[in-house]
Chains A and B, each alone.
Chain A
Amino acid sequence: MPRTITIDPVTRIEGHAKITLQLGDDGKVADAQFHVTQFRGFEKFCEGRPLTEMPSLMARICGICPVSHLMASAKACDALLAVEIPPVAVSLRRIMNLAQFVQSHALSFFHLSSPDFLLGMDADPAERNVYGLIRKNPELAIDGVKLRKFGQEIIALLGGKRIHPAWVVPGGVNEPLTTERRDQILAAIPEAKAIALKTITWFKQSLDQYQEIIDNFACFPSLHLSIADEQNKLNVYNGNLRVVDKDAKVLATGVKPADYHTLIGEAVENWTYLKFPYYKPMGYPEGMYRVGPLARLNVIDSCGTPLADKELAEFRQRFGRVPQSSFLFHYARLIEIIFGIENMQKLLDSRDILDPFVRARARPNRREGVGVSEAPRGTLIHHYKIDDHGQMTFANLIIATGHNNLAMSRGIKQVAQHFVDGNHLTEGMLNRVEAVIRCFDPCLSCSTHALGQMPIEISLHDAAGKLLDVARR
C-alpha cells in the first residue's frame, strides 16, 4: 500500500524545509520531495526602491551569507551605473567575500554537519548536535568557533559590523582599509591557517569510515556550474560562467554574467517555493547541475594558491577529476577554507590595498544589470532592471540553493532508497536523509539558522490518508 513519510522540519540547516518520502506497495521508497516551506518575496517588494539601496536590502535575504548578496547585488548595481570600480575596491570586496566563505563554511562543517561525522549518523539526536560535539571533542568544537569568529571579525573590521554591513555600495565600498585593521587581520591569519590544515588532516584520516555514505549520498553524475577567472582558476568574486560535465568536458565557458539566461532556465513546481533552475541546452529536468564547493573544484583547473592546490591535487587523486558524491561537498569546503585564508593573505600583502580611492561615482547609465559572484553555497545571480530615475522595476535572483534543487531532490531519493525501509523506521535512517541535505548546506531563508535540536515528526499514511504510525524526536 503506498504511504508517505514526512520529515518536518529538516534540522541543522539554514531555513525551513520538509521532506516527503513516498513509499510504494513494497514499503520501499518510490519517490522523494524536498519542500521549501517559506516564502520571502524579495524580488517583488524591492520594486520601486532606489537602486542604491539594493545591496543592503538584498543582503537581508540572509543572516549567514549576507556578504554574498552584497557582492552580487553591488555588482548588478555597478553594471547599472556602467562603471568599472577602482581596483582596490575589487580587492576589498574580494577579501570580505573570502572572509564570508571561511565563516560560512566553518558554520556548515563544524556546527551543522560535524556532529554526524563525530557522533555517528545513528547517535541519539539529543546528543547529535553542536552541544554533543562540545562534550565529545571540545578541541574540534573550539576550532570551529575560532574559525567562524576569524571570518566574522574580518567582515566587521572591513564593514563595521559582522552581519549586514552597509560598506559595500554601488561603485565600490564606502571606506578604505586602515593600516591598523589590515595588520589586525594579518595577525589572525596564522592561527586560522593552522586550524584549517589540522581539520582537513583529521577529516582525510576519517574518510574511510564514510565509504558507504560517500557512495550513496547524492552520488550521481551531473553537470557542475561555477564562475572561474580567465585562467580557469578559483575566483569567488569575479569571473565568467563555466559548465563542465561528469567527465570534465567543458560544455560552456567564458559566458558573461549578463548572458546567464542562455545557460540557465527556471522551472516551477506547485509543491515548493523554491524554483528549479536547469541547464537550458539540455532542458528540464535533464539539465540538472550542481553548484557550490564541489562544483567549483570540479569546474576550475586550479585554485591558484599553493596549499589549496596541494589539497586539490590529493582530492582529485582520491576521487577523480570530477567527483560525483555530494558528501564530498564537506571535503571541498575545507579546501576552500584554506584557499580563502591564503588568498586573503595575498590580497592584504599587496601594496595598494590601503589606497583610499575605493569608490566610483556615477548615475544610473543602463536600464539593466546582472551581477554574479560565488556564495559559499554556489553561484549567485542578481539581475535588475530600473526606470529612468534609478528605481527598481524588476529583480530576478537565482541563489545557490536554487541551482542545487534538482540535485538535492534526487539525492534525497537516492539516500532514502538506500537507507530507509518504510516497514522499520529508525531515527538513524531519517537522519541520513537530512544529512544529505546538509551536504549541500542549503540556505533556505536564508534568514535563520536552525542550530541544534528542533522537533521532528515522521508520519506514515496509507493511500487513503489514514495515519498508520507517528514517530517523534
Chain B
Amino acid sequence: MTTMTASPSSAAHDIQVVTLKIDDQEVSASRNQTILQVAAENQIEIPTLCFMPGLKPMGSCRICLVELAGSPRLFAACVTRVSEGMTVITDSPRLRKYRKQIVELLFVERNHVCSVCVSNGRCELQALAVKLGITHITQPYRYDKMVVDSSHDLFRLDHNRCVLCTRCVRVCDQIEGAHVWDVAGRGIDCRITADLNLPWGDSDVCTSCGKCVHICPTGALTEKGTAVAEMRKQPDFLPYLTIMRENH
C-alpha cells in the first residue's frame, strides 16, 4: 500500500518535531505521525472507514482523503506521514464529493439493506452516510447475489454487508495471530474468505475469539441469534489490547 511522505527539506531532515498547517490551524507533531493522528490530537475530525485504532492502517477505503497544498493528488490521511511545512486541507467541496461517491459506490456494490440488518442503528457505514449527507443513491444498484455463511457455531458472515475494509483480516493476523481471513478474487469479485476458501465453520485455525466480529464496521460479521438492529459491537478492546502488548 502506498505510503506518501512529502519530501522533507535537507535542513529539516533531522528535526523530530515538525510544524504544519491543518485547515488553517498551525499544529506541531512528531515526524513519524500520520496526518490522521495529528488531526485527531488537534480535534480536527477526518472521516474514516477502514482505519481502526490498534491495527496497522491500510489506506484502502480512501474515505480519509485529504488535499496537500502544492499537489494535485489526494492522500489518505491514515497512511500519510506529516512533514515540515505541510499544508493539509481536510474538508473541501472536492473532498466531500469524492467521499460521498465512495460511500455511495459501497452501497451500490452490495446489498446493504439497513432496515433489516442486525447492525441497523449501530453501523459505521450507515453513520458515515448520514454524516456525509447521503440521502439518495444516484448510481444503479448491482443487486449481486451474495451468500451468507452461517457455518460457524457462534458467528455469521454476510457478504452482502461487507465493505472489504479488511479489518477482520488484519485483526486476525496482527492481534490474534490465527490468520483465518484473507481477501480472495480481484476487483469487483473480491471476497473475504476463511482459510483457503472454506466455510468459516470448517476453519481449523479459527479460535472463535470474536475479534473480527467486534471490529467489523457493518453487519457483515455478526453474532448468531441476533435479530434486526440487535448487534452491539464492542471494538474498544482493541486499542487497549494493542497498548498492553506493546508496553508489557
Please report A residues at the B interface, Cβ cutoff 8 Å: 48-50, 52-53, 55-57, 60, 164, 166, 169-170, 174, 361, 363, 389-391
Q: A174-B230, A391-B150 are in contact. Are A53 and B116 (CB under 8 A)?
A: yes
Q: What separation, in Å, do the CA atoms of A170 and B150 have in the docked complex?
A: 17
Q: What separation, in Å, do the CA atoms of A164 and B228 have in the docked complex?
A: 11
Q: What separation, in Å, do the CA atoms of A164 and B151 have in the docked complex?
A: 29
Stretch binding the partner chain, chosen from B56-64, B123-131, B219-227: B219-227
Give chain B residues whose Cβ lies under 8 Å from the Cβ of A390. Answer: 150, 224
Determine whether the beta carbon of A57 is less than 8 Å from that of B116: yes
Give chain A residues whose Cβ lies under 8 Å from the Cβ of B228. Answer: 52-53, 55-57, 166
Q: What separation, in Å, do the CA atoms of A295 and B134 have in the docked complex?
A: 47
Cβ proximity bits B208-248 to A, threshold 8 Å, 1 near / 0 not: 00000000000000001111111000000000000000000
Give chain A residues whose Cβ lies under 8 Å from the Cβ of B148. Answer: 48-50, 391
Q: What separation, in Å, do the CA atoms of A170 and B228 have in the docked complex?
A: 11
Cβ proximity bits B195-206 to A, threshold 8 Å, 1 near / 0 not: 000000100000
Chain B interface main SS type: loop
Give chain B residues whose Cβ lies under 8 Å from the Cβ of A169. Answer: 227, 230
Q: What separation, in Å, do the CA atoms of A432 and B157 have in the docked complex?
A: 53
Determine whether the beta carbon of A361 is less than 8 Å from that of B227: no
Q: What separation, in Å, do the CA atoms of A139 and B225 have in the docked complex?
A: 48
Q: A391-B148, A391-B150 are in contact. Are A52 and B226 (CB under 8 A)?
A: yes
Residue on B nearest A49 in the bound complex, by CB: B148
Please tell me if B118 contacts chain A, counting CB pairs below 8 Å: yes
Determine whether the beta carbon of A170 is less than 8 Å from that of B116: no
Q: Which 7 A-B pairs have the closest CB atoms?
A: A56-B228, A389-B150, A169-B227, A57-B116, A166-B228, A166-B229, A52-B227
Cβ proximity bits B129-171 to A, threshold 8 Å, 1 near / 0 not: 0000000000000000001101100001000000000000000
Please tell me if B43 contacts chain A, counting CB pairs below 8 Å: no
Checking A50, A60, A166, A174 against B150 with a beta-carbon cut-off of 8 angstroms, the contacting residue is A50
Give chain A residues whose Cβ lies under 8 Å from the Cβ of B225. Answer: 52, 361, 363
Give chain A residues whose Cβ lies under 8 Å from the Cβ of B226. Answer: 52
Determine whether the beta carbon of B150 is less than 8 Å from that of A164: no
Give chain A residues whose Cβ lies under 8 Å from the Cβ of B227. Answer: 52-53, 55-56, 166, 169-170, 174
Task: Report, as a range, how many residues of chain B touch the other chain.
Answer: 10 to 19
Within B91-148, which residues are at the interface with A (CB < 8 Å)? Answer: 115-116, 118, 120, 147-148
Determine whether the beta carbon of A56 is less than 8 Å from that of B150: no
Give chain B residues whose Cβ lies under 8 Å from the Cβ of A164. Answer: 115
A142 to chain B minimum Cβ distance, whole angstroms, is 32
Determine whether the beta carbon of B115 is less than 8 Å from that of A60: yes
- For the A-B complex with A50-B156, A361-B225 known, give 5 more contacts whose Cβ atoms are closer than 8 Å: A48-B147, A50-B148, A166-B229, A169-B230, A389-B151
A73 to chain B minimum Cβ distance, whole angstroms, is 11
Q: Can you name 25 A-B pairs with beta carbons within 8 Å? A: A48-B147, A48-B148, A50-B224, A52-B225, A52-B226, A52-B227, A53-B227, A55-B228, A56-B115, A56-B228, A57-B116, A57-B228, A60-B115, A60-B116, A166-B227, A166-B228, A166-B229, A166-B230, A169-B227, A174-B230, A363-B224, A389-B151, A389-B201, A391-B148, A391-B150
Give chain A residues whose Cβ lies under 8 Å from the Cβ of B151. Answer: 389
Give chain B residues whose Cβ lies under 8 Å from the Cβ of A55. Answer: 227-228
Give chain B residues whose Cβ lies under 8 Å from the Cβ of A50. Answer: 148, 150, 156, 224
Q: What separation, in Å, do the CA atoms of A53 and B156 have in the docked complex?
A: 13
A387 to chain B minimum Cβ distance, whole angstroms, is 8
A318 to chain B minimum Cβ distance, whole angstroms, is 45
- Central interface residue in A49, A55, A166, A363, by most chain B CB within 10 Å: A166
Q: A166-B228, A170-B227, A361-B225 are in contact. Are A56 and B147 (CB under 8 A)?
A: no
Q: What separation, in Å, do the CA atoms of A48 and B229 have in the docked complex?
A: 19
Give chain A residues whose Cβ lies under 8 Å from the Cβ of B224. Answer: 50, 52, 363, 390
Give chain B residues whose Cβ lies under 8 Å from the Cβ of A166. Answer: 120, 227-230
